Amino acid sequence: MKQEINGETIGRALDELSAQIAEAQAPNERLAIVGIANGGIRFAERLRTRLTDRLGEAPDYGVIDIAFYRDDLGTNPIPKVTEPTELAFDVTGSRGILCDDVIFSGRTVRAALNDLFDQGRPQKVELAVLCDRGNRCLPVQPDYVGMRVDASPTEKVAVLLHADNAAADKITITQS
């Protein structure tokens, strides 16, 4: 293993991210946290919990599954569909924060934006990631970055956020 990042470091990054998102919140904006399935879901939940504490009310919440918006149909294996897109709030007029655990090429974000805009017209869309591993292929940059990691395109960045034991959270970078 090349590198391991522990739960404490991840916790601090989540605190900082939620502080930044809360600070940028304008009085009349309707905040919506949107996790990109599957990796972004738990990250989005963590952020939402922290934002609820900071803002005094729970932001809207939803999940986007980009399976049907991918641009590699027929060239890569079919992704497992586990968390269908579900946005149980009015997308139109909201301040949507797309959340993913890792940003790499940027393709996932492009697909998520397409899905989001098929369901309404948000006032604003921002991107929060726990981990930026660089090597972008599209002009997509996150607004909020938990940490930057040094990983080559062939290395594997795995984020493991536990359901009920944040202390055991970890990010590992390994040569695949």
Partner 1 sequence: MSSRSLSWGRKDLICIEDLDRSEVETIFEVAKSFKQTMERSVKKLPSLRGRTVVNLFMEPSTRTRIAFEIAAKRLSADVISMVGQASSLTKGETLKDTARNIEALRADLIILRHPASGAPRYLMDLVGIPVINAGDGAHAHPTQALLDAYTLVERFGSLKGKRITILGDILFSRVARSNIWCLTKLGAEVTVAGPATLVPPEFGRMGVSVSHNLKEALTDADAVMLLRIQHERQTSTHFPSLGEYTSMFGLNKERASWLKQDAIIMHPGPINRGVEIDSELADSPRSVILDQVTNGIAIRMAVLYLCASANNKSESDLLA
Interacting residue ranges for partner 1, rule: CB under 8 A: 36-39, 65, 67-75, 77-82, 84-86, 100, 102, 107-108, 114, 118-119
**Of 7, 48, 44, 37, residue with least CA distance to 171:** 7
CB 109 within 8 A of CB 98: yes
Token pair belonging to 68: 């049907």
Q: Which is nearer to partner 1, 36 or 171 (CB)?
A: 36
In angstroms, the CA 72 to CA 158 distance is 22
Q: Are strands 170-175 and 155-160 parallel, antiparallel or unpaired?
A: antiparallel
- For residues 121 and 148, which CB has a smaller minimum distance to partner 1 in the complex? 121
Identity of the residue, 18 or 108, whose beta carbon is nearer to partner 1 in the bound complex: 108
In the complex, the smallest distance separating the C-beta of residue 75 from partner 1, rounded to whole angstroms, is: 6
Q: How far is the CB of 28 from partner 1 (least distance, A)?
A: 25
Nearest approach, Cβ of 168 to partner 1 (angstroms)? 20
Rank residues 74 and 139 by Cβ distance to partner 1 and give the closer one: 74
Least separation, in Å, of the C-beta of 56 and partner 1? 32
For the CB of residue 117, give the shortest distance to partner 1 in the complex, in Å: 9
Phi, psi for 71 (deg, rounded to 5): -105, 15
CB atoms within 10 A of CB 88: 8
SS3 14: helix
Nearer CB in complex with partner 1: 58/81: 81
- Sheet architecture: strand order including 3-5: 3-5, 170-175, 155-160
